Structure 1
Amino acid sequence: MDRFFTVEVISQTSDPQQVIYAAMHQDYAESFVWHDRDRFPPEARCGEIIVKNLLAGNRGHYGPLEHPQITLNCGYFPHSTMQQMRTHRVGVSFDVQSFRYTGKRILDVISGTRDVEEVFYLRPEGQYTDRQGKHYEYTKELRHQDIEWCLAACHRYYDRIQQGFSEEHARGILPFDVRQHWVMSANVRSLMHLLDLRWKADAQLEAQELCELIWPHFKAWVPAIAEWYEATRLKKARLAP
């Protein structure tokens, strides 16, 4: 796991499994369920009911899962990972750090106040396989060359800024995988779908690591649903719940 990657919770619907229970219950209840809220089962029991009545046996009724929402702050991931995640916008909202306004960290590398690897992402040394199954090694020497290339790009960026270039113009010469932060909101259903897509075995390494960091927050938030997901869907690429 990259030492800078991080995911933190900004906010989340409280008692999310009770919220799902209320939505599910209204589907078949004669009463206006708001009047019954004091009689809802406890949060943990609601989770058990949801798994039994909605999820077990692949019943496929996922609508009630769309009501609770969690907002995550994802930090220090490469630009390419942000692009992969932002592709999945159904039920997921994004606000992403703009390189048009946030070039100071590039200049910080030049001043020595920020490490180059805090600003640019490079994969760790090791053995890799491309999509055609060809094997190759990313050696210490090759990685060092790439760090030097990132440093050179920072110097070129600095020169362009000093020449009066706008940040949106100067950024064009930077290596692709500048680290980037974003805020992401998702409901229970859309977050499971995102995990289906980006935590499967052939997903890109960095996307899988993002899912690894999202997972503990999801598990703490909706534990019964997470337990069901872990047993039935986790890393199985069963898409679009």
Structure 2
Amino acid sequence: MTVRLVKHSASDADVVFAARVSTKGPESLPAGGDLGPTELALINFLMKDRHGSPFEHNSMTFYVEAPIFVLREWQRHRIASYNEESARYRELKPVFYVPAEDRNLVQVGKPGHYRFEPGSKWQERSVRYGIETNSYEAWSVYRDLLNEGIAREVARSVLPVNVYSSMYVTMNARSLMHFLSLRTSNTEALFPSHPQREIEMCAEQVEAIFADLMPVTYGAFQGYGRVAP
């Protein structure tokens, strides 16, 4: 999985001036400089009491390369803007996702109350063989259809959801925290989540970027149970 920061306008100062407009009006505009104890306390107060809108006045754009089934799961979050590579207009590359050997394969328990456990060596071989064989055959049919002059938007129908695609996704810090609260498993979370491992691999990269860009906001998010305001 690849997640790369393309551009951003995001800092902890953005949260502070957005919050202070309610009491200071135009005087809330940032004058530069480092945040002091008062500003740090304000960000933590906003997170603790779940005053969410000040965390929306920033922007982060990521470039993501991942299997189609991961992008579709990500796009369930209707709190971001997306633009994805189109298989109608360009030929996709023959890149397919195959789970790594340490990926848990067996679901144990009922829906909503289950866990994943490692598979046997036989199951690991079956998964790898099945996915690799299916991917190869699907790609061969896809190329044959294109070579016969079939339109890309029709030929793509034979490709499985483990083929890689790419997209740009833009979101603000509040939306990003909602995404992280659902797409990461963390023992410090007030409301634990159990995401599919593949999207969690993307979310972990997003989280590292967020922590670097907005360390105070990220620290407050982590400190108050990873609950988005």
Provide TM-score, normalisation by structure 1: 0.79
Check whether the contact 1:47–1:223 (CA below 8 A) recurs between aligned residues.
no
State the 1:12 CA deviation: 0.8
1:10 aligns with 2:35: no
1:123 aligns with 2:99: yes
Q: In the aligned structure 2, how far is the partner of 1:174 from the partner of 1:71?
A: 28
Indicate the residue corresponding to 1:51 in structure 2: 43
Check whether the contact 1:125–1:140 (CA below 8 A) recurs between aligned residues.
no
Gaps of 5+ in 1: 107-118
Q: Where do residues 1-241 of structure 1 align in structure 2 (5 Å cutoff)?
A: 5-14=1-10, 16-29=11-24, 31-33=25-27, 37-38=30-31, 42-43=34-35, 48-55=40-47, 58-75=48-65, 77-90=66-79, 92-106=80-94, 119-126=95-102, 127-130=104-107, 132=110, 133=114, 136-137=119-120, 138-200=123-185, 201-234=193-226, 238=227, 241=229
Distance 1:72-1:18 versus aligned 2 partners, 3 A rule: same
Deviation string, structure 1 residues 25-77 (Cα, Å, up to 9, x no partner): 11112x5226x633x6624657613333312xx311111110011111112x1
Q: In the aligned structure 1, how far is the partner of 2:37 from the partner of 2:167?
A: 34
Distance 1:32-1:101 versus aligned 2 partners, 3 A rule: same
Distance 1:146-1:217 versus aligned 2 partners, 3 A rule: same
Q: In the aligned structure 1, how far is the partner of 2:199 from the partner of 2:36?
A: 30
State the 1:78 CA deviation: 1.1
What amino acid maps onto 2:6 in structure 1? I
Deviation string, structure 1 residues 141-180 (Cα, Å, up to 9, x no partner): 4302321221111111111111110111011111122111
Q: In the aligned structure 1, how far is the partner of 2:39 from the partner of 2:132?
A: 48
Distance 1:46-1:156 versus aligned 2 partners, 3 A rule: farther
Check whether the contact 1:21–1:46 (CA below 8 A) recurs between aligned residues.
no
Q: In the aligned structure 2, how far is the partner of 1:43 from the partner of 1:6?
A: 32
Q: In the aligned structure 2, how far is the partner of 1:129 from the partner of 1:213?
A: 25
The number of aligned residues is 213
Check whether the contact 2:15–2:43 (CA below 8 A) recurs between aligned residues.
no
State the 1:102 CA deviation: 2.7
Provide TM-score, normalisation by structure 2: 0.83
Check whether the contact 1:196–1:233 (CA below 8 A) recurs between aligned residues.
no
Q: In the aligned structure 2, how far is the partner of 1:44 from the partner of 1:99?
A: 50
State the 1:225 CA deviation: 1.0
Q: In the aligned structure 2, how far is the partner of 1:51 from the partner of 1:143?
A: 47
Q: In the aligned structure 2, how far is the partner of 1:196 from the partner of 1:142?
A: 30
Distance 1:46-1:186 versus aligned 2 partners, 3 A rule: farther
State the 1:104 CA deviation: 4.7
Check whether the contact 1:157–1:174 (CA below 8 A) recurs between aligned residues.
yes
State the 1:24 CA deviation: 0.8
Gaps of 5+ in 2: 186-192
Aligned to 1:105, the other structure's residue is in SS state coil
